[in-house]
Structure 1
Amino acid sequence: MPSRRAVLSLLAASVVCAAAHADGGDDPFGSLQWPDLKREFFGTAKVVFDGKVQVQGPSFAEDPMNVPISLRADASLGPVEEIVVLVDRNPIRKVLSFYPQQALPSLSFRFKLEQGSPVRAFARTRDGLWHGGGAWVDSSGGGCTVSGATRKDGSWTQTLGQARGKLFASSPVGGENASRLRVMVMHPMDTGLVGGIPAFYVNRLAVRDEQGRELLRLATFEPVSENPVFSFDFPGRVAGGLRLTGTDNNGNRIEGRIEGRIE
Structure 2
Amino acid sequence: MAIRMHAALRRCTWLLALGWLTSLPATAALPEDPFRSPMWEYNLARYLGADAAVRHSDTVVIKTPPFAEDATQVPLTVDLSAFPHEIKEVITWVDLNPVPHLFTLRPEAAEIRTVALNFRIQQASTVRAAVRDEQGGWHVGSVHVEAAGGGCTAPSATASNPDWADSFGQVRGALFSPVGGVTGTRLKVQVMHPMDSGMVGNIPRFNIETLELRQTANQQRLASMALSESASENPLFVFDLEHDAQQSGILLLLRDNGGNLIESRMGI
Cα offsets for 1:112-169 (capped at 9, x unmatched): 0111101110001111111000111111111000111111113332222222431112
Match 1:79 to one of 78, 86, 99:
86
Q: Which residue of 2 aligns with 1:111?
A: 119
Q: Is the 8 A contact 1:73 1:123 kept in 2?
A: no
Q: Report deviation, 1:58.
A: 0.3
Superposed, 1:4-15 pairs within 5 Å as: none
1:160 to 168, 189, 194: 168
The answer as to 2:45 corresponding to 1:34 is no
Following TM superposition, by how much is the alpha carbon of 1:197 offset from its aligned partner in structure 2, in angstroms? Answer: 0.6
Q: Give 1:187 shift.
A: 0.6
Map 1:132-171 → 2, pairs under 5 A: 132-170=140-178
Residue pair 2:81, 2:114 contacting (<8 A) in 1 also? no
Alignment-derived partner of residue 225 in structure 2: 218
Deviation at 1:98, TM superposition (A): 1.0
Residue 82 of structure 1, CA deviation: 0.8
Distance 1:74 1:208, change over 3 A: closer
Distance in 2, matches of 1:42 and 1:257, equals: 33
2:29, 2:234 → 1: CA distance? 37
Structure with the greater alpha carbon radius of gyration = 2
TM-superposed deviation, 1:50: 2.4
The residue type paired with residue 134 of structure 1 is: S
1:256 aligns with 2:257: no
Aligned to 2:59: 52
TM-score, with length taken from structure 2: 0.83
CA contact (8 A) 1:116 1:140 kept: yes
Distance (whole Å) between structure 2 residues aligned to residue 51 and residue 198 of structure 1? 39
| DSSP-derived class of the 2:88 partner | strand
Kept after mapping to 2: 8 A contact 1:25/1:35 = no
SS of the residue aligned with 1:79? coil
Q: In the TM superposition, what is the alpha-carbon distance from 1:212 to its structure 2 partner?
A: 1.0
SS in 1 for 2:233: coil
What's the counterpart of residue 93 of structure 1? 100
Checking the alignment, whether the CA contact within 8 Å between 1:163 and 1:244 is kept in structure 2 is no
In the alignment, residue 198 of structure 2 is paired with which amino acid?
G
Letter of the 1:87 counterpart: V
Q: List runs of 5+ in structure 1 lacking aligned partners.
A: 1-18
Partner SS state of residue 78, structure 1: coil
How far, CA to CA, are the matches of 2:143 and 2:98 in structure 1?
18
| 2:264 counterpart of 1:247 | no
- Equivalences, count: 239
The sequence identity of aligned pairs, in percent, is: 38
Match of 1:8 in 2: none
Distance, in Å, in 1 between the alignment partners of 2:36 and 2:181 is: 35
- Which stretches of structure 1, 4 residues or longer, exceed 6 Å deviation after superposition? none
- Is contact 1:79–1:125 with CA below 8 Å preserved after alignment? yes
**Which of 72, 84, 93 is matched with 1:65 structurally?**
72
